[in-house]
Structure 1
Amino acid sequence: MNLLICSFEYYPYGTGIANVTYNVVKKLENRGITCTVASPTGPDIRLGNRPLIMRTGIGGLFHYWYTVTRRLREDDYDAIWMHQPMFPGRVPFKRSVATLHSTSYGEYTHWLDGTARHIKAYKRFSSLCERRCLQAFPGGSLFTGVSRGVCNEITGMGIDDQRVRYIPNGVDTERFSPSSDPGDLKERLGVPDGRKVVLSVGRFIPQKDPFRMVDLFSELERLRDDLTLVAAGHGALLDATREYAAEKGVKNAIFPGRIPWEDVPSLYAIADLYLMTSKYEGQPLTLLEALSSGLPCIVSDIPTLGLVKEADAGLVIDLSQPAVAARSVAAYMENGVAAHATNARRYALENLKWSGIADQYIRAFEEVVRT
């Protein structure tokens, strides 16, 4: 099979989409599939403008997909695999699989309460453009969502559920595995000995709502005096979150910023629990890394994080009342979490290996080739 992959970001440039696409491509190539990647940074075909995408958002995406339309021909390939398509006009490919890692529709409907009017207007415009684009795909095309929540968002935009497939993101289960040896990372981060570590990993951006994380941990500190929060990552809200934690009087929180790639497995090794308080997610890779590392997970009650309940690997909580949520977390820790740690690792091994994820995509590509 000769496959064209179109993505506005690709490893080593970008974040989740770049890493997912790269890992699946490597597995596809191992199975003898010829993969040609077209992105603003290549590696095979360079299209679009990465700085323009970073600076203008949907304007840069329109430009990227316009160049895809102008420069690439479907007849040169057996199938086309697209990530987050946003064609400004006609969709030029019939034998295509479109993968959505999140949706503007989902963002607009799930987490914009309390945000600025101009942000709401931008997300509404993006969601309308997204809906128009997806509905313009030819009938033989398939859509995949990286979580069941994203799949529901796709059908919510008017796509027949018979054309939608759930294919989760994957994780390197060898690199991320249960370990009690974090090397010297615990010392470098300044985590005191004898304390339980509640870990959060991710960008400090509005949809991840790091302030709710601080609210929850502030209440949790009142109930237990043996906890340290390690919230790793970078983003526009990092400094504001640090300041908010200080204002709340949080005593045992560490915000180390970006963690080097080689240290990330050790980061999970220092943790006892994983925490995610997002208002909206597609399918966060850090959650999958935590599951693969054998960590029980405490997550907010949003559709795309239902994976934790499906895996029976943690606690799903309503964060609207931090004091109530903190009591639930404290009780959960008292009752023991060993079984959920085992379940987390088992679920990752059975469902989230990149090789298995690649097999699911191959079946989708074969399906569109036959139509």
Structure 2
Amino acid sequence: MASAPAVVPRIKLGSQGLDVSAQGLGCMGMSAYYGAPKPEPDMIALIHHAVATGVTLFDTSDIYGPHTNEILLGKALQGGVREKVELATKFGIASLDGDRQIRGDPEYVRAACEGSLARLGVDCIDLYYQHRIDNNVPVEITMGEVKKLVEEGKVKYVGLSEASASTIRRAHAVHPITAVQLEWSLWSRDVEKDIIPTCRELGIGIVAYSPLGRGFLSGGANIVDTLSDDDFRKSLPRFQPENMEKNAAIFERVSEMAARKGCTASQLALAWVHHQGSDVCPIPGTTKIENFNQNLGALSVKLAPEEMAELESYASTDAIQGDRYHEFLNTWKDSETPPLSSWKAT
């Protein structure tokens, strides 16, 4: 297994001035979706450990819980920790009586920001993402309200999550977008065609979530057997038996190459993301310090161009079986919004 570097390198995320650790920490699984919430003291200890190692970008959202993950981060950032991190959270998925609604109207955007500030216990959010795109509200309207939040000092940098190339362009024209968060890993590569080139053309940083394929690139097909009944991954198309059986071959090949490299499969998969460029920051999530340390070791794995090509030959877009999300979940595939001229404020 590769060891973590003595010093975690830092990168410029986008062209607006945000400087972060080359690898961040996704915090969702601490509180939501991947089974029952984990013990708060353990998660705070993990966050403090991450800060001590030099990781500075922490990723959450108001929908994680909902709200409980932001509250957890708020507690962990007390006592001088806040000044050592770049804090990212998101708005856009409203929860009402257990039902979800995608919203991007100005009233909601402002209320969501105020709520996140209070739960996190901060005066300003370092990176504020629109989590999902509201197909009924022109993105210019949503970004117009976010721009006001920046002008008021409540937000430093603006991001989008799961947005199409055209939506990114429209949003960027209203206020510079610092980062786009998207699912990018060896088994989620569809963003490479249009979205990644658009981000690079516009000088927008890339934050890769689920860079380990929601755990698949750590444990292979066997991961399904370890998931609790309330883990939402059990319902995802790629985790269904008929698809997982075919996808298992990809993990086997990655594992064989990792053995040759003297690292773990997860470290090799993460290293592949790191080698996509200095404008990319993966944010693998975990709830265990030992897994966090292993993930950080990916920064020490070096890949030659021919090794990158070998990995990519195992996991072409066509080779992956099953969609990464259910059809009903809003993603970049349907993130087009109405033209600005159609908007009438209510």
TM-score, L = length of structure 1: 0.34
Q: Which has the higher contact order (CA 8 A, sep 6+)?
A: 2
Q: Is the radius of gyration larger for structure 1 or structure 2?
A: 1
Q: TM-score, normalised by structure 2?
A: 0.36
